[in-house]
Chains A and B, each alone.
Chain A
């Protein structure tokens, strides 16, 4: 049981380039989330999904898009990267309907630098 995994671990982009971050979970969780964490700060919610085929905006959604085509995967896209998007990105999942647990479990993070 790998939990929550993220790909890639590190990435450097030039301003204006695009990329997609992949999150996968093998816990059969209903909900998935994308956060960003800037130095010395807590996590801020970008987008989230309460089920396959659904997405919703979080606290800081501008400049990002997401898709949840499969229950186990949640993709975060940057269409035109900006230096302000330099951050560490964390994916999380929650809600095991079998056990009723709604604890959020986090992946190891993706460190993104935009030059």
Chain B
């Protein structure tokens, strides 16, 4: 079936650099996408979301870009900090009940 997936399982960046985490999706009918951050031993934490009628949305130090033509989603983190080290998941809304399908996750490691 259609699903959400990620290109890179692990991303290692230097503190202060910008990070880009990518996600591919295949369900062209999806209209809502979310990025979650999960630290070790904790539940997923909402970071930012975007609807399909937008190409870009910015939050505090984070930006989500949506390219519907190639079905690609990315999360950009500016000035990455050690506290950003975690696993990041993209998820898409698949329909009734606001159900989400999650990708496999990318681990972000920030080197001091």
Name A residues whose Cβ lies closer than 8 Å to a Cβ of B.
Answer: 4, 31, 33, 40-45, 48, 50, 56, 58, 90, 92, 94-95, 102-109
Contact = CB atoms under 8 A, between A and B. Distances in A.
Given A42-B89, A107-B43, A56 B97 contact: yes
A102 to B, nearest CB: 5
Nearest to B100: A104
A31 B49 CA distance: 18
Given A43-B89, A105-B46, 14 more contacts: A42-B102, A42-B103, A43-B100, A45-B99, A90-B43, A94-B98, A95-B98, A102-B32, A103-B34, A103-B46, A103-B49, A104-B34, A107-B43, A109-B42
Interface string B25-56: 00000001010100001111110010000000
Contacts of B103: 42
Contacts of A40: 104-105
Interface in B71-112: 89, 96-105
A43 B42 contact: no
Most chain B CB neighbours (cut-off 10 Å) among A56, A106, A107: A106
B45 A106 contact: yes
28 contacts: A31-B97, A33-B99, A41-B104, A41-B105, A42-B89, A42-B102, A42-B105, A43-B89, A43-B100, A43-B102, A45-B99, A48-B97, A48-B99, A50-B96, A50-B97, A56-B97, A58-B99, A90-B44, A94-B98, A103-B34, A103-B46, A104-B46, A104-B98, A104-B100, A105-B46, A106-B43, A106-B44, A108-B43
